[in-house]
Amino acid sequence: MLRMSPDGRGAAMVQNVDGKSYVVVSGFGNKPKVILQTDNDKYIFSSLRWAGSKRLLVGAFFPDHRRGVATGETRLIAVDPDGGNLKADLASALQNGSFFERQRNVPQYQDRIIGALRDEPETVLIAFDAQSAGQPDVYRLDTRTGRSRLLQRNLGGTYHWMTDTQGVVRLGSGSARTTMRVMVKPPESQGRSSEWATLAKYDGTDPAEARQHALRPLGFDADPRFLYALAPVDGRNALVRIDLQDSAFPRETLLADARFDIRGDLIRDPATQRVVGISYRTDVPRLLYWDDAARQRQEALDRALPKRGNHIVSDDETGQRSIVLSVQGSRPTKYYTMDWASGKLGLISDTHPALEKQPLATPKRVALRSRDGLQLEGYLTLPPAREAETAGAPSVRRLPTIMLPHGGPASIDTGSYDYWAQFFASRGWAVLQINFRGSIGYGQDFREAGRRRWGLEMQDDLADGLRWLVEQGIADPQRACIVGGSYGGYAALMGAVKDPALYRCAISFAGPSDLRDLLSHSQSYIGYELGAEAEIGTWWGDREKLRQTSPALRAAEIRVPVLLIHGANDLIVPVEQSRDMAEALKKANRADARYVELPLGDHSLSREEDRVRVLTEMERFLQKNLQ
């Protein structure tokens, strides 16, 4: 996290050193100052933004429980750049204010800032569900005094809010059970008053309806008449611009791809807030500008940092200074400052300085066909030594191999820096990451092909990928293991059940093991029908299929060593999933199974201590089983 101050005189960032995290403020040319810190045991810093140039807002995330249900909670810290005028919990200060006097619910998320007022820089707009859980209203909040005022009541089922560039609340989206709805408040025009209207409404579990009506708003132009969004065009997400002044809300397609979904963020002129382009990804990161001045600025940046991917991630309010994220291939990113008047470029930070001089592998994009003819893509990462060895001629030496499925499963591997893949490759192992059916980025049909197919065709795609790599003469068929986290951890366990002859071992970090129990757990949370049930299946109707695709219920069939790792504070996949799997393996007399529990670990391995422990455990286990 790194943010330029609106006046361009400094920047705020979160730095991680020796397991601790620090909020650091630096005036360019001045000594950095630490204003907040955490040991990451009780809470972590989760967000960072400026409220004017003299106030910083820092989100803090921590695990908790409500009525016996595990929750993730956030709080909002406000502090001046010199560390003064600290409000360690704005919500606590707000409880003495007007809108908390009759509150009916203590909000779980208290840092959801949705916008700001340009004329009142220290006032922000914040979404709070103080009246009804999961139904946030919008308030104005003075970050210095804690005073607040209600701006917008919930529309019913609204969970996400969006403002225009002037701080007017103009869009709300959410769901009621499986019905998705996007509401918009067009600007007044031609004597027509501004009232809330339905922009999109559809059944989120119906692919045909989603194909026609799904909408993901990205933001308003400087003129709030126009809204930019991602919407399906010929079965793939495209960038569209919607005219809100016309009551029919016509859409103009600005960017589409025949093979890939468009995924990205708008690029704005920092001085005018006009939308001037989009930073997006199809198969590779790309930039599209429809403003000549913005395009020329990008070209100047690329000349200053040649042969790198360069993206402006933060600006001052005039656009004279910017923070640039720069990446070269699959190496960790660097951050620079750019002074546009002088053309001076300065390095702020390496995200992983210890790796700067280390040889890293370069993932290669691969393509293959599944057994049922589906086109699959992914990335193959070879050890750096193997890359050098085969630079002149193909090698005949087969490599021990890691099949590394991604989590989600609504996610995607892109070939960008992945510390697990790089770690494994540095140990001399080939790493194959297949974007199995159900992954995002390849269109609606590909995504839907994975719905409720856990352990079935989704699992076959991984096995087909490894067999393909063996056929290519790269993978050693006797030395391959399957490793993953979250859904990838489930796939690792299911691979050991379904394809015991293919894998020599399996590692699951935070992987589900009993799908019916996972569904029961998910029923305690908002969005169950659109999330877990739509993704996995119904607890009763699909009960037999869920039994057959639950590794914990088929542990007796596993014939290979298994390593289980799970964080006790995991709020996504409950730790009981790995505890139960460990118990099932014990009952099956699998003496070569090992379970490691991280007492303070979470689903994303936020703590450095946990990341080091996980990598150490995996390396030891894999070295033993891939010899």
Tokens 């807030």 sit on residue: 273
- Predicted local distance difference test score (pLDDT) of residue 188: 86
> What region, left, alpha or beta, does residue 441 occupy, with left being phi > 0 and alpha being psi -120 to 50 degrees?
left
Tokens 């050098």 sit on residue: 388
Q: Could you tell me how far CA 203 lies from the centroid of its own chain?
A: 24
- Predicted local distance difference test score (pLDDT) of residue 167: 94
**CA separation for the pair 435, 406 (Å, rounded):** 8
364-625 is classed CATH 3.40.50.1820? yes
- Predicted local distance difference test score (pLDDT) of residue 27: 84
Nearest to 52 by CA among 141, 2, 121: 121
- Predicted local distance difference test score (pLDDT) of residue 162: 97
Q: What is the DSSP string of 45-101?
A: EEEEEESSSS-EEEEEEEEEEETTEEEEEEEEEEE-TTS-S-BS-HHHHHTTSTTTT
Q: What is the DSSP string of 487-528?
A: HHHHHHHHHHHH-TTT-SEEEEES----HHHHHHHHTTSTTT
Cβ neighbours of residue 351 under 8 Å, at least 6 residues apart?
332, 333, 334, 335
Nearest to 611 by CA among 571, 578, 565: 565
Cβ(326)–Cβ(334) under 8 Å? yes
Phi first, then psi, for residue 538 (nearest 5°) are -95, 140
The two structure tokens encoding residue 246 = 């016309």
* Adjacent-strand bridge partners of 263: 281
**DSSP reduced 3-state for 316:** coil
In terms of C-beta distances under 8 Å and separation of at least 24 residues, what long-range contacts does 288-294 make, across chains too? 288/255, 290/254, 293/269, 294/267, 294/269
Tokens 């699909």 sit on residue: 542
**CA separation for the pair 288, 276 (Å, rounded):** 9
- Predicted local distance difference test score (pLDDT) of residue 99: 46
Sign of torsion, CA 97 102 107 113? negative
**CA separation for the pair 103, 85 (Å, rounded):** 26
**CA separation for the pair 228, 217 (Å, rounded):** 6
Question: What does DSSP assign to residue 194?
Answer: -
- Predicted local distance difference test score (pLDDT) of residue 67: 81
User: What residues in the chain have per-residue pLDDT under 70?
Assistant: 29, 91-103, 190-193, 387-395
Cβ(118)–Cβ(166) under 8 Å? yes
Cβ neighbours of residue 257 under 8 Å, at least 6 residues apart?
236, 238, 282
Strand order in the sheet with 344-350: 309-315, 321-327, 334-339, 344-350
Cα–Cα distances in Å, from 478 out to 358, 475, 588, 622? 30, 9, 24, 13
Burial 111-129 (b: 16+ CB within 10 A, else e): bbbbbbbeeebbbbbbbbb
